[in-house]
């Protein structure tokens, strides 16, 4: 008569297999839920376990095969041991044993380890990587055969594994969504700056340029005192120099050379050989260039200010590195004060503004969504809507915003009220 198996030995084996099953279950969740960026950051700090985890994650098909084979192997053996225990020690109540084992596996080998791993995925992945790597080496021949069969099935189903690996890379919209997440541990100031950087490709030079009518430059026909005042008040490091109008711009003055420039102007500058040495060549930018591209061109060409031209070569405005950085960093206190003067908020929530104000500035200031696609200024928006020159006392509605024209000067809106309806 064969000797009955030891209940204690069977119980110890069962406990070991349940722990092994819990390990594989937790490892699966920890590995798949891990943030690779966080793991790479740990690697930079010298974590070998995180490096090993990343190596395992570089082949997710192989990793999943190891985990699933190990987990199923542990659960099947555990089921066999429970069957032996129930037959030999509990009057053959195999069904009861199966029910109890299922409950135990669900609680202790599935729910508990998976919940723990999901709370600390990177830590769980790093700590489990050593043992998973050993199992991977031991089971490698068996895993290879399984992967060959699974690859053929995936090919039949037209599942591209390589494409799924590339999905780890976030696109711009996904990065914006990540920044908008309230749980993201990034300060609001940094979020705002990062969001502005991500938006730069969607903005053109035209969106940020100083319009032609607002460009401050040096007209050589002006008096010396007037030119000195312009230089002293300039917020730019360079100024365009022209004769009569900007279409006759022949150079850019670096403020650092302003003293020499003034000395020459006090003489007969047209006959002075040193005059051109004080000026730099005029640098141009296309009106349709994206801000990202323009910043790159400024850097490559070692320039920081450009006159903006349209497709016909006519000057439309001015753009500088400072303007682009201001778009990234946001408005400073003095800029906000200027916007408060430009957009007067009324008690009823409406805003009184000038028709030449930029739609984008108003949208940012009031958190509105006025359409910016076809027009850059409020004047342009209204003119495009009515397809005519606006008249005083006109009241229209555009995209759920009410526009009341209060004053017209020289066929241009000088004062209007905007209210969200």
Boundaries of every domain in the chain? 7-166, 172-200, 203-329, 333-420
Cα 99 to its chain centre, rounded Å, is: 50
- Secondary structure tally for the chain: helices H, strands E: 19, 13
> Please, what is the end-to-end C-alpha distance for the chain in angstroms?
92
Query: What pLDDT, on a 0 to 100 scale, did the predictor assign at position 22?
Result: 94
Span 203-329 CATH architecture: Roll (3.10)
Helices (H), 120-204: 121-138, 140-156, 161-166, 172-180, 188-199
Q: Residue 129 and residue 56: Cα distance in Å, rounded?
A: 8
β-sheet with 344-345: strand ranges across: 344-345, 351-353, 412-420, 401-409, 395-398
* Predicted local distance difference test score (pLDDT) of residue 333: 42
Query: By three-state DSSP, how is residue 316 classified?
Result: strand
pLDDT tens for the chain, residues 1 to 421: 455 668 889 999 999 999 999 999 999 999 988 888 889 888 998 889 999 999 988 888 888 888 988 999 999 999 999 999 888 888 888 899 889 999 999 999 999 999 999 999 999 999 999 999 998 888 888 888 877 887 788 788 776 665 555 555 667 777 777 777 766 667 766 776 777 777 777 788 888 888 887 788 888 888 888 888 888 888 778 889 888 888 888 888 888 888 877 777 776 555 455 566 678 888 999 998 988 899 999 999 988 889 999 888 889 889 988 888 877 765 544 455 566 677 888 888 899 988 878 888 888 788 888 887 777 788 888 888 887 777 767 888 888 899 988 888 877 788 889 998 8
Residue with tokens 């006959």: 271
Number of residues that this document lists for the chain: 421
Of 85, 81, 39, the closest CA to residue 58 belongs to 39
Give the E-state strand segments of 186-335 in sequence order: 210-211, 218-219, 238-243, 245-254, 279-280, 284-286, 305-309, 315-320
The C-alpha angle with vertex 29 and arms to 27 and 32, in degrees rounded to 5, equals: 100
The fold of 333-420 is 3.30.465
Distance from C-alpha of 367 to C-alpha of 352, rounded to nearest angstrom? 15
In this prediction, residue 189 carries a pLDDT of 66
């Amino acid at each position: 008569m064969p000797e009955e198996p030891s209940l204690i030995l069977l119980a110890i084996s069962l406990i070991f297999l349940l722990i092994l099953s819990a390990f594989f279950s937790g490892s699966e969740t920890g590995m798949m839920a891990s943030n690779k960026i966080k793991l790479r950051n740990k690697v930079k700090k010298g974590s070998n376990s995180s490096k090993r985890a990343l190596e395992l994650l570089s082949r997710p098909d192989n990793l999943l095969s190891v985990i699933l084979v190990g987990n199923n192997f542990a659960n099947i053996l555990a089921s066999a041991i429970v069957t032996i225990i129930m037959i030999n020690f509990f009057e053959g109540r195999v069904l009861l044993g199966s029910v109890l084992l299922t409950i135990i596996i669900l609680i202790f080998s599935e729910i508990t380890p998976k919940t723990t791993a999901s709370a600390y995925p990177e830590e769980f992945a790093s700590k489990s990587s050593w043992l998973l790597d050993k199992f991977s080496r031991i089971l490698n021949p068996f895993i290879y055969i399984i992967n060959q069969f699974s690859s053929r099935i995936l090919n039949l189903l037209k599942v591209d594994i390589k494409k799924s690996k590339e999905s780890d890379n976030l696109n711009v919209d996904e990065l914006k969504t990540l920044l908008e997440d309230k749980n993201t541990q990034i300060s609001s100031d940094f979020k705002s700056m990062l969001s502005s950087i991500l938006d730069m490709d969607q903005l053109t030079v035209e969106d940020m340029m100083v319009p032609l009518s607002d460009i401050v430059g040096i007209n050589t026909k002006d008096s010396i005192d007037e030119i000195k005042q312009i230089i002293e008040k300039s917020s730019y490091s360079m100024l365009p120099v022209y004769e009569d109008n900007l279409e006759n711009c022949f150079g850019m003055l670096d403020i650092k050379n302003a003293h020499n420039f003034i000395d020459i102007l006090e003489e007969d500058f047209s006959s002075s050989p040193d005059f051109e040495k004080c000026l730099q060549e005029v640098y141009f930018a296309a009106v349709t260039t994206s801000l990202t591209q323009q910043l790159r061109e400024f850097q490559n060409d070692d320039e920081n200010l450009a006159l903006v031209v349209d497709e016909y070569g006519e000057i439309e405005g001015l753009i500088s590195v400072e303007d682009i950085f201001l778009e990234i960093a946001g408005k400073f206190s003095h800029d906000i004060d200027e916007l408060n003067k430009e957009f007067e908020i009324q008690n009823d929530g409406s805003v009184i503004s000038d028709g030449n104000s930029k739609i984008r500035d108003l949208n940012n200031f009031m958190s509105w969504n006025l359409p910016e696609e076809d027009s850059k200024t409020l004047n342009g928006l209204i003119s495009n809507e009515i397809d005519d020159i606006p008249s005083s006392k006109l009241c229209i509605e555009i995209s759920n915003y009410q526009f009341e024209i209060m004053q017209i000067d020289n066929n241009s809106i000088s004062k209007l009220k905007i209210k969200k309806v």
